[in-house]
A and B are shown apart, each in its own frame.
Chain A
Amino acid sequence: MLEKTLHGGKGYWIWVFALAVCIGIGFIAYLYQLREGMWVTGMSRDVSWGFYISQFTFLVGVAASVLMVVLPLYLHDFKAFARITALSQFLAVGTLLMSLLFVFSDVGMPMRILNVPLNPTPGSMLFYDTVFLPGFMLLNLIIGWTAMGAEKREVPLQWWVKALIYLSMPWAVVMHTVTAFIYAGTPGRGFWMTAIMAPRFLVTAFAAGPALLIILATIIKTLTRFEVTEKAIQKLVTIMLYALIIDVFFLGVEYFTVFYAHIPEYALTFQYLFLGINGNCALVPWYWGMNIAILVAIGLLVIPGARTSRPVLVAACVIALIGLWIDKGFVLVPAAFIPNVFGRIMEYPPSWVELTISLGIYALGTLIITALYKVVISVREETEIL
């Protein structure tokens, strides 16, 4: 089936070439960071985690959202999702590859990365991520690939693939929960010390994944003969809408606790995010933007006429995705270091090197997703099960 990735039109090859160029630029930037050390990033003694760890966190969430597709299909027999499971699973493969590369880009001693499996440390939450992330990536690659093979030969799924699908359901929840535990278990970082962290990680994941899937399905619809049914799209909208509303509730609960109790350790970062402290307000527009984007997306999605119009729906998905990305992929990680443990404000702007490496990683993940989607679409175009 892999040979399908080698046959494509002009547009396909231009896209692949453009991604390859971005990967190349990102790789050169990484070599520069590797030679110079981490001082070429915007991170500092005070804000010691930044853009890379943020992307890792956001992308693990997108991967975990596979659950929102396989669960209705395999537990509730919602057949309309049968055509999008492969898209969702291959999306998870690409996003997890990116997550792992982002962690790899963040460590100061990448040549020693094998020290993690060589010295397994169950007390460290990062250990669980190194187990669950590659595991989930492999799981989805195997499931997606064998499912496409079965579809191509027009035979039912093997029993062991089904077993793996059932395994992947709790796996998704556990995987994203341990990602949240990286943050929610650090004394002295009031912004992260909240039990709502893991639940909120899950709901934002379950909103971001469907939003991205709807956008991708629309792109595929305009470019190929493969079309995701409206029934499946509308189900994704429902899932996303509920997830966004629960996220707003969780956010509200968090805001009440920190602002009403007003314990400085917990409230200061939120104060910094909403109003800025002593004129330091780099993240203020972003944080307001996040809150507004999520509310606007909900507003658009609750209107029945709006959500059935594809352009409005895609706009709502893009807005939601931007909001969710700001939340988990931009603010969550660095904000916990502001103010720092000495009560000082040291802001964090990502550097160009960091952003270029990130561009390269995103391009690589997109290339993998493109290739896997090419296989899916080619198989479907051949078997005419569109």
Chain B
Amino acid sequence: MTLTRRKFLKAASVAALVVSARPSAGRAFELKGRMSPGPKALQAGQWGMGVDMNKCRGNCRDDCLAACHEIHNVPYIPKPEHEVKWLFLEPYENAFPERSHRFLSKRVREKNFFLLCNHCEDPPCVRVCPTQATFKRQKDGIVMIDYHRCIGCRFCMAACPYGSRSFNFRDPRPFIKKINPEYPTRHRGVVEKCNFCQELLEVGRIPACVEACKEGVLTFGDLEDPTSVVRELLSEKPHIRRKPDLGTGPSVFYIT
């Protein structure tokens, strides 16, 4: 049999398909079992947070933010255009622009609200990501980012209606005051945001901001569990969410 160019190409392309299809199937099999949670890990159906703005005095306001940004190696970049922030404060009129109106009292309008990723039930950022670098974790609903897979296309930033995502416009490392060796730093060119302290939940601790807040403003718990602190709070007090009309299902609730 003579090997013509056509036959060779045909055989080569079939071989390439077979080779490329196999390893992924094998890898998924391997990972099973190794990824089970540790004995102390906190688990939930959908983690959620309650923010009781009546309790927030605002004069200690850097505590929760600093706690988060320190342990997660979030850089402090002075230029607002290139800022990276996981937790941040915005006045009511900016946190809830669609609810703001001219008859609001000055006190309410200018009150700073504690904002973070909403870990939505149906997150648009996850829907648009072309590499699945950002994904919603099945077991507890946390919206996560794989910093090693993200290509930095920023489609998720366009899709997020909450401005929760930051892009590393520059190398973040020189802007980190003290590097926490327990958590990775990021590279320039990737997107990052709040991860509900997934790394602390794994070892049985609650998120750093909740731990840091001494006023009891922040409550954290399982939204699927009717007896959780968050659910109890929601059943007792009136609450709002950011842009609920978009149907994203935010998991962060504000008691006002």
Contact = CB atoms under 8 A, between A and B. Distances in A.
A185 B156 CA distance: 12
B155 interface: yes
Contacts of A265: 98
Interface string B51-69: 0000000000000000000
Contact of B130 (A36, A48, A126, A187): A126
Give the secondary structure class of A's interface.
loop
A137 to B, nearest CB: 19
Contacts of A36: 170
A119 interface: yes
B109 to A, nearest CB: 12
A144 B187 CA distance: 43
Interface stretch (B7-15, B39-47, B240-248): B240-248
A127 B166 CA distance: 22
Interface string A342-357: 1110100000000000
B243 A107 contact: no
A55 to B, nearest CB: 15
A37 B154 contact: no
Interface string B99-116: 010000000000000000
B226 interface: no
Interface stretch (B27-35, B76-84, B195-203, B207-215): B76-84
B83 A45 contact: yes
A182 interface: yes
B131 A116 contact: yes
B97 A342 contact: yes
B124 A186 contact: yes
Give the secondary structure class of B's interface.
loop
Contacts of B166: 45
B188 interface: yes
B206 interface: no
A361 B195 CA distance: 38
Contact of B158 (A103, A130, A186, A264): A186
A13 B241 CA distance: 63
Contacts of A182: 155
Interface of A: 36-39, 43-46, 48-49, 103, 106-110, 112-113, 115-116, 118-119, 121, 123-127, 130, 182, 185-189, 264-265, 336-337, 340-344, 346
13 contacts: A45-B80, A45-B81, A45-B157, A48-B157, A48-B158, A48-B167, A107-B151, A108-B153, A121-B129, A124-B128, A186-B124, A189-B158, A265-B98
